[in-house]
Structure 1
Amino acid sequence: MDLPHFSILISDKQYRKLNRNIWSEKPVEAELQIEDKTFDVDLLYRGNHVREFSKKSYHCIFPEITAGIKEIHYNAEFMDKSLMRNKLSLDFFSSIGVLSPTAKHVLLSINEENQGVYLQLESVDRNFLKRRKLPSGPIYYAENDDANFSLHSPIDEDIKDSFDSGYSRKEGSSRDDKTLQELIYKINTLKKTEFERAILDYINIDKYLRWLAGVVCTQNFDGFIHNYALYRNSFTGLFEMIPWDYDATWGQDINGEEMEFDYIPIEGYNTLTARLLDVPTFRKQYAKIFEEILTYHFNKQNLYEKINVMHNTLRPHVLRDPYVAKFIDDFDREPGIILKFIDDRHHYLRNHLQDLR
């Protein structure tokens, strides 16, 4: 099966500028070729530690909205030998009713030089909402571990400088910041009886608990305080969680090493989660959602075909990828590793459902 092909065209001068400082957030001029059309784009490298890898990840920004798109991300997925975990995760979140960006595998070249298999990721912005016919609303990126819904930083336990520390606003205004700050304050200060009633005015509880179950199932250790966006639906006034950057999942940590299937408990982490699950009504709701997900979504029988079809589709292209072809034996082992993790994790979570009751 062929994958879509995209080509980045960039002059030598702009390429040298891009590589002069791989950590720069100032884009360079380039073009993105899609089929027989060419578009001007601003180009920069994306990611944190992954910028140091030989196979880079890219962020393309269109000067104007093009076909309903302002930004596109091309992820190398270099630490994931399967090249599948991020897409598998985001598709899984969508299947359990969580608002998630779309992801598809593509082939990428730069100045007609093959760069191999990439994952094209949809940007979470106002156009993301428009494509889903959702109301506009502020969107915040959880950019560091301070986005833990606490008044304290998880690193040094010091009081944060601001209640909304850890977030960067992608959409919205400073007035929206006050609502987010108010939410964080109330999560940490309201008594249990007040919290149960007041939180309903801020959080879409069903969506949050589904997101929480998704993080727990895929076992994204950073997912509770990082790797997500917050969207506040302007119609309901409620916040929803949007997952992002899910390659360290399905039994793998951020270094590409194996993570034990029982590493993260069924209750998950972060201050908001702890407060919600301390309320019997919400805890019971979470247990019901989790049982549904284990029965119909998170199990080897349900995911077997998807994983193998994705692997078989990617394999011919992996063999021609200049960066990962030499790891083809590892790539071929990955479906079995992921499926074993799913089976082991499913049984572990099934056995701990009683902990939620």
Structure 2
Amino acid sequence: MPIVLSTGCDEGSTYVASDDGGGDASVAPDGPVDVRPDSGVEQEGGMTPPEPTVVEYEVACGSGEMYWPEEQDEIRWSVHCAGELAAADGLPDGASFDPSSKSIVWKPRLDQAGPFEIVVTDVDGGRTRIAGNLLDRFDAPDNVPVVDPVRYLHEHGLPVIHLSWHSDEPQYCRDAVARDPVPADIIVDGVAHAGAELRCRGATSLAFPKKSFTLRFTKDAPFHAPPSLAAFEGRRRLVLTQTFDDNSQIRTRMGFETWSRLDPANIRIDHASVVVFVDGVYQGLYQLTDNVGDHLMAARGLDKDGNIFKSVSHAGNYRTSYNNGKAKTDLKDGYEKSDGEPEDDFEDLETLLRWVSESSIEEIEASIDAMLRTEDFLDWYILMTTLLAYDNYGKNSNVYRDSDGPDTRFRYIPWDLNATWGQSWDTKRVLPTAAGKDSPAPLAHNGIWERIAESPTLLARLDARFAAALAGPMSLVETLALFDRMSAEVRPSALRDDRRWDAERRAYPLWSSRKDLTTFDTEHAYLRSWIEQRWTHLAAFYLPGQASGVQLER
């Protein structure tokens, strides 16, 4: 039985970048998405690759839609024009045009992945455009790498980033060893970036078979962004985050977008979904984000020479003692300095830690708005406790300070949001009702939050801001709308990612004992339900009367 797709396209498939105060740099199309019903069959041990199939597209006369078939499919476009058809220009190699049946038939080879554009002309001069990108059938036994990465630009409307690197280490980015950056070929939208570099990144994730990358670009050849990634134009550092431990494909993006929505003055992390190929070989769906560093600070109107400190372990708890109460002999234990000179100067951080731990509560209340942009740190609490992001209560955080600038307050910047939205760092499920308003865990891991909670005045300020967020930019309605939009945007590509990684994901030792492993679709059913339950749980504490119209303080 052939698959008949009446639209067969991503209507309006150019994704327009957003820079309206949120960080979402990728917007889903308005039209229907061409999702192959044969995206793989779930069975014991993972997904089985789909067999090539007959795909029939019904094309309206005069349309100009986008199509995303795969190599080896038997493709048939039936063009519905009232008059006779005269010609079809731009036929790919192996395709044929039959004017009597008003159809084009094509069974592409495994070396033909890339764009195509066919223009059908009728006897009256009318034109019907049939265009798109023939997708690489990466799991075919005899498949070959993409022949021309300069021309292979999109998959299901998402931009493709092509990577290759040059290293004397045969295992570079193939084992679990962190190494220095190496020269790399980075091709985006047909543009090769001269002088670019790449390195693999991560801690636990460095051992994953699907790697994360930091991309580095030169001053003379910064990131060239296609229209769908315009928010990243001119960047010098970007991060490609793997989704091996998040087959929802959107947890990180959902977190960063929610952070931006809480307050437009928060330091925004732009984000988008992209497809990655390495040496012409499909690697799957990734989350592209800003890199937290001096260039991002400059892009946000802050001094690029300010200091950025990152909490890299639970010892980085924003106090002068460990979580067990033992005093630290080295206050910088648990942190690294990611930007700022001199590299070994932690004076700003130590000033913050001593202020947190040694000030009286009266001194905290009197000086907090001079020491911190307090809204950053309240929103940090709101976001991470809402998402039950235990791994982000203290660690996986960045603080920035421009100590010799006009605004010397500390700023907060989020990072590493895979252990959120109902899963832990090792993908285990987290109950949506696991913690409520007065859970002690966040305060135990974060000295700043602990001091805020000690002050009735500051705690009331936090509670009011939390309630305003749940009634406004982080409401259940807004959050589910964001979730549904991102889910629709990535689903066609996510199903291909499932085909590539599902078996290895299920077999990975860190979570292979789980009996509740999911595919993209079942993970999204779980995640949507989790959001509904979590928000209902929080509303009982912060919105008992379902307050509305509350405005965030600025």
Fold conserved (TM > 0.5)?
Answer: yes
2:186 to 32, 42, 49: 32
Q: Tell me by how many angstroms 1:335 deviates.
A: 2.7
Aligned counterpart, 1:218? 387
1:324 to 498, 501, 506: 501
1:124 to 280, 292, 295: 292
1:253-295 alpha-carbon deviations (Å, 9 max, x no partner): 1111110113244353211101112112211111111111111
Say whether residues 1:200 and 2:369 are aligned partners: yes
Rounded to whole Å, the distance in 2 between the matches of 1:176 and 1:18 is 32
Rounded to whole Å, the distance in 2 between the matches of 1:161 and 1:264 is 33
Say whether residues 1:50 and 2:218 are aligned partners: no
Q: Please, which moves more after superposition, 290-299 or 172-181? A: 172-181
1:88-107 to 2 correspondences below 5 Å: 88-97=254-263, 98-107=266-275
- Matched to 1:75, the amino acid is T
| TM-score between the two structures when normalised by the length of structure 2 | 0.60
Aligned counterpart, 2:480? 304
Say whether residues 1:181 and 2:181 are aligned partners: no
**Mapped contact 2:495–2:520 kept (Cα < 8 A):** no
1:261 to 408, 427, 432: 432
1:53-68 to 2 correspondences below 5 Å: 53-64=208-219, 66-67=222-223, 68=234
- Matched to 2:257, the amino acid is D
SS in 2 for 1:16: coil
C-alpha distance 135-27 of structure 1, shift in aligned 2 (>3 A): closer
Aligned counterpart, 2:468? 292
Rounded to whole Å, the distance in 1 between the matches of 2:482 and 2:361 is 43
C-alpha distance 100-162 of structure 1, shift in aligned 2 (>3 A): farther
Rounded to whole Å, the distance in 1 between the matches of 2:330 and 2:455 is 27
Say whether residues 1:83 and 2:252 are aligned partners: no
Cα RMSD for the two superposed structures: 2.4
Rounded to whole Å, the distance in 2 between the matches of 1:354 and 1:306 is 21
SS in 1 for 2:354: helix
- Larger relative contact order (Cα-Cα within 8 Å, sequence gap ≥ 6): 1
SS in 2 for 1:324: helix
**Mapped contact 2:237–2:291 kept (Cα < 8 A):** yes
**Mapped contact 1:5–1:106 kept (Cα < 8 A):** yes
Rounded to whole Å, the distance in 1 between the matches of 2:179 and 2:394 is 23
**Mapped contact 2:251–2:417 kept (Cα < 8 A):** yes
C-alpha distance 109-122 of structure 1, shift in aligned 2 (>3 A): same
Rounded to whole Å, the distance in 2 between the matches of 1:305 and 1:261 is 19
Say whether residues 1:140 and 2:309 are aligned partners: yes
**Mapped contact 1:59–1:73 kept (Cα < 8 A):** yes
Aligned counterpart, 1:150? 319
**Mapped contact 1:99–1:241 kept (Cα < 8 A):** yes
- Matched to 1:96, the amino acid is L
Say whether residues 1:171 and 2:314 are aligned partners: no
C-alpha distance 36-103 of structure 1, shift in aligned 2 (>3 A): same
1:63-120 alpha-carbon deviations (Å, 9 max, x no partner): 4461532222111121112011110000000000132311110011011111110111
Q: How many residues align?
A: 353
Rounded to whole Å, the distance in 2 between the matches of 1:22 and 1:9 is 18
Say whether residues 1:334 and 2:523 are aligned partners: yes
SS in 1 for 2:216: strand
More helix per residue: 1
Stretches of structure 1 lacking an aligned partner (at least 5 in a row): none
2:399 to 230, 234, 246: 230
1:121-142 alpha-carbon deviations (Å, 9 max, x no partner): 1111121122222344221122
**Mapped contact 1:30–1:42 kept (Cα < 8 A):** yes
- Matched to 1:104, the amino acid is A
Rounded to whole Å, the distance in 1 between the matches of 2:493 and 2:539 is 37
Rounded to whole Å, the distance in 2 between the matches of 1:176 and 1:70 is 24
Rounded to whole Å, the distance in 1 between the matches of 2:462 and 2:419 is 24
- Matched to 2:214, the amino acid is H
Rounded to whole Å, the distance in 1 between the matches of 2:332 and 2:366 is 22
C-alpha distance 354-296 of structure 1, shift in aligned 2 (>3 A): closer
Rounded to whole Å, the distance in 1 between the matches of 2:297 and 2:393 is 23
